[in-house]
């Protein structure tokens, strides 16, 4: 990478300066190399003079002048150096350095942007984790896309990724679900029924009831047993969730059932282990976990006086099992409404002797749905929510993916349904995909005209000197580092913004310069650029799970 090469050169200059007693070595590692905001400030910029001036109590511009002299000796890499503002050293590299990026991209192909920095570290990404009580809502949609995009980014950077879905098909929620299904079943048979007060009112419960009717006729009309109702509801809802996930191209390696934590004795063993460490006590008939030992404000109940555990206990047990399964990094994608569990779970695993630093929780804010310019209030129970399936029907999988990734997790996401449906043509995803299709089209066009498509080694790349061309080359050169950063920071939105930027640069270039002209040498050089761009844009789209249409 060019930036790291340049950093090494600057480090070399710094070291020489130390050797020649121009400055002390106190500034080592404190200065940075950056891409400046404005193009007239060079390709790269370093604040080394400013940093050293602070330490040495000297004039930064004077130090900058010394750096400039040292840097200018590397003529293979650097074309010019200037000093600007308070003492920034701005560096312009040789055009050939940028032009060679095309060769790198050609060589790497589909691997361009991918890397091995993850060093095959085993990472578990846990996400969605919705209980089978209803279809996935738009909030789940955001989480599904976010989690999958993070998983894909980690895969692209050489991590060994494992996707897991944690669910619970037992307990109160499922009982209410069974009761809801039974009520609808009786309703369909014109029997008297009482719908549970906090029951699930969604239309999908009728689907469950109809399926029961089809399978059992009216044989369940006298049944007090909730099991068949619950089982059918769970089966159908889970099938529905799975198919929604499949539509989005999301595949889990494992579905982890909360109930197995009970069946396998993990719940009990966590309690006894914590008790053995003196971190558990009984009070008011309940069992408490001394979270105050970990700096929390109050202790928490882990087993209610009814004998039933609170959600914290299985959560802690689940995380202990994750640790036992030998992952190097545990990533949880949670909605911000689950924030309360995080400190408790971390306290739990810490108490059990595991390293909480291995756990990273990505909390994402809610999705606000806008319809007719007004916010849609949503509730799973009342079922006045828009499902992911409906959303996919309306805007398509690529657009949905793109929208959900457009915001950083910390920001609330406003999803304007009217805009997404009525004006899906103006969706930014098309802007990027159109650029890709256009690139493909140019290459087709060249072939049709009998123009040979040559490799980087066979063309005169020094002809690529237009500002728009250099700009594109520079952007492409920064792609691998961007992917690394987006992956390690768990921020897929960076890829989205990059793609929009790169697509925009291409559209501008396209409108200003013709690729295929009578000038064969120039055309072939530009076709090389087009090919590299197609690879870069395509890789970017694929890395976050978007499709790459060659025609639209």
Site for RNA in 186-245 (CB under 7 A): none
> Cα–chain-centroid distance for residue 397?
16
Per-residue interface string for the shown chain with RNA, residues 67-86, x marking contact by CB under 7 A? -----------------xxx
Return the H-helix or E-strand segment holding 92.
strand 88-93
CB contact at 8 A, 399 and 424: yes
Among 380, 493, 536, 537, binds RNA (CB under 7 A): 493
Could you say which of 94, 173, 269, 421 contacts RNA (CB under 7 A)? 173
Give alpha helix (H) positions in 30-74. Answer: 48-56, 60-71
507: contact with RNA by CB under 7 A: yes
Kindly state whether residue 291 participates in binding RNA, applying the rule CB under 7 A. no
Q: Is the Cβ of residue 226 or residue 406 nearer to RNA in the bound state? A: 406
- What is the C-alpha to C-alpha distance for residues 236 and 133, in angstroms, rounded to an integer? 10
Contact between 262 and RNA per CB under 7 A: no
**C-beta closer to RNA: residue 430 or 456:** 430
Q: Rule CB under 7 A: choose which of 441, 471, 542, 547 binds RNA.
A: 441
Task: List 444's β-bridge partners, or say none.
Answer: none
- List CB contacts of 233: < 8 A, sequence separation 6 or more: 132, 177, 178, 180, 181, 205, 208
> Within positions 390 to 409, which residues make up the interface with RNA, using CB under 7 A?
406-408
Q: From CA 515, how far away is CA 453, in angstroms rounded? A: 12
Residue 59 binding RNA, by CB under 7 A? no
- Rg (Cα) of the chain, in Å, rounded? 29
Interface residue with RNA, options 190, 192, 263, 284 (CB under 7 A): 284
Does residue 511 touch RNA according to CB under 7 A? yes
Among 195, 238, 256, 434, binds RNA (CB under 7 A): 434
Binding-site size for RNA (CB under 7 A) equals: 90
Work out whether 475 is an interface residue with RNA (CB under 7 A).
no
Tokens of 165: 């879905």
Count Cβ atoms below 10 Å from residue 253 Cβ, excluding itself: 12
Q: At what angle are helices 138-156 and 397-405 packed, to 10 degrees?
A: 80
Cα separation, 497 vs 485, in Å, equals: 13
> Does 131 interact with RNA (rule: CB under 7 A)?
yes
108 binds RNA (CB under 7 A): no
Q: Which residues, 445 to 464, sit near RNA by CB under 7 A?
A: 445
By beta-carbon proximity to RNA, the closer residue of 305 and 465 is 305
Residues 297-356 that bind RNA (CB under 7 A): 297, 300-301, 304-306, 308, 310-311, 336-341
Q: Give the whole-angstrom CA distance, residue 535 versus residue 538.
A: 5
Counting contacts by CB under 7 A, is residue 426 touching RNA? yes
At closest approach, how far in Å is the CB of 514 from RNA? 4
Cα gap 529→267, rounded to integer Å: 59
Q: 209 or 309: whose CB is closer to RNA?
A: 309
542 binds RNA (CB under 7 A): no
Angle CA 515–516–522, to nearest 5: 75
- Contact between 257 and RNA per CB under 7 A: no
Among 206, 390, 414, 421, binds RNA (CB under 7 A): 414
Which residue's CB is nearer to RNA, number 223 or number 336? 336
Grouping H, G, I as helix, E, B as strand and the rest as coil, residue 82 is strand
Stretch that binds RNA, among 37-45, 114-122, 140-148, 386-394 (CB under 7 A): 37-45
DSSP 281-323: EEETTEEEE-GGGGT-SS-EEEE-TTSPBPTHHHHHHHHHHHH
Contact call for residue 365 and RNA (CB under 7 A): yes
Cβ proximity to RNA: between 92 and 242 the closer is: 92
């Amino acid at each position: 990478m060019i930036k790291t090469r340049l950093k090494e050169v600057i480090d070399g200059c710094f070291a020489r300066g130390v050797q020649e007693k121009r400055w002390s070595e106190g500034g080592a590692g404190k200065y940075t190399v950056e891409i400046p905001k404005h193009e007239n400030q060079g390709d790269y910029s370093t604040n080394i003079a400013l940093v050293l001036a602070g330490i040495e109590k000297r004039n930064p511009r004077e130090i900058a002048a010394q750096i400039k002299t040292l840097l200018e000796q590397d003529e293979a890499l650097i074309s010019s150096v200037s000093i600007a503002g308070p003492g920034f050293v701005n560096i312009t590299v040789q055009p050939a350095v940028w032009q060679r990026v095309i060769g790198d991209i050609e060589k790497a192909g589909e691997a361009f942007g991918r890397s091995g920095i993850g060093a095959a570290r085993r990472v578990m990404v846990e996400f969605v984790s919705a209980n089978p009580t209803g279809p996935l809502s738009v909030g789940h949609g955001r989480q599904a896309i976010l989690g999958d995009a993070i998983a894909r980014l980690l895969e692209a950077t050489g991590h060994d990724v494992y996707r897991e879905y944690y669910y619970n098909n037992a307990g109160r929620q499922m009982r209410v679900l069974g009761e809801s299904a039974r009520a609808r079943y009786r309703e369909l048979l014109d029997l008297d029924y009482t719908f549970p007060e906090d029951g699930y009112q969604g239309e999908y419960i009728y689907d469950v009831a109809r399926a029961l009717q089809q399978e059992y006729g009216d044989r369940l009309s006298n049944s007090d047993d909730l099991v068949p109702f619950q089982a059918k509801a769970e089966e159908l809802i889970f099938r529905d969730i799975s198919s929604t996930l499949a539509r989005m191209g999301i595949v889990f390696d494992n579905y982890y059932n909360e109930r197995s934590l009970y069946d396998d004795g993990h719940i009990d063993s966590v309690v006894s282990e914590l008790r053995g460490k003196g971190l558990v006590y009984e009070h008011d008939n309940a069992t408490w976990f001394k979270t105050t030992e970990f700096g929390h404000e109050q202790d928490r109940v882990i087993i209610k006086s009814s004998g039933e555990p609170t959600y914290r206990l299985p959560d802690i047990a689940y995380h202990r099992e994750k640790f036992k399964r030998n992952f190097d990094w545990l990533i949880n994608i949670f909605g911000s409404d689950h924030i309360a569990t995080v400190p408790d779970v971390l306290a739990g695993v810490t108490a059990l002797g595991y390293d909480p630093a291995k756990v990273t929780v990505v909390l994402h804010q809610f999705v606000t749905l806008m319809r007719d310019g007004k916010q849609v209030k949503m509730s799973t129970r009342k079922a006045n929510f828009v499902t992911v399936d409906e959303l996919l029907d309306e805007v398509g999988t690529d657009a949905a993916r793109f929208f959900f990734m457009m915001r950083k997790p910390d920001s609330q996401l406003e999803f304007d349904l009217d805009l997404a449906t009525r004006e899906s043509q103006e969706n930014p995803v098309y802007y990027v995909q159109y650029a890709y299709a256009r690139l493909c089209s140019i290459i087709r066009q060249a072939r049709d005209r009998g123009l040979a498509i040559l490799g980087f080694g066979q063309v005169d790349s020094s002809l690529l000197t237009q500002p728009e061309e250099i700009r594109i080359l520079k952007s492409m050169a920064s792609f691998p580092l961007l992917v690394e950063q987006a992956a390690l920071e768990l921020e897929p939105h960076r890829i989205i913004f990059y793609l929009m930027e790169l697509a925009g640069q291409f559209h501008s270039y396209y409108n200003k310069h013709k690729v295929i002209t009578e000038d064969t040498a120039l055309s072939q050089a530009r076709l090389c650029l087009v090919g590299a761009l197609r690879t870069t844009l395509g890789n970017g789209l694929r890395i976050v799970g978007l499709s790459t249409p060659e025609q639209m």
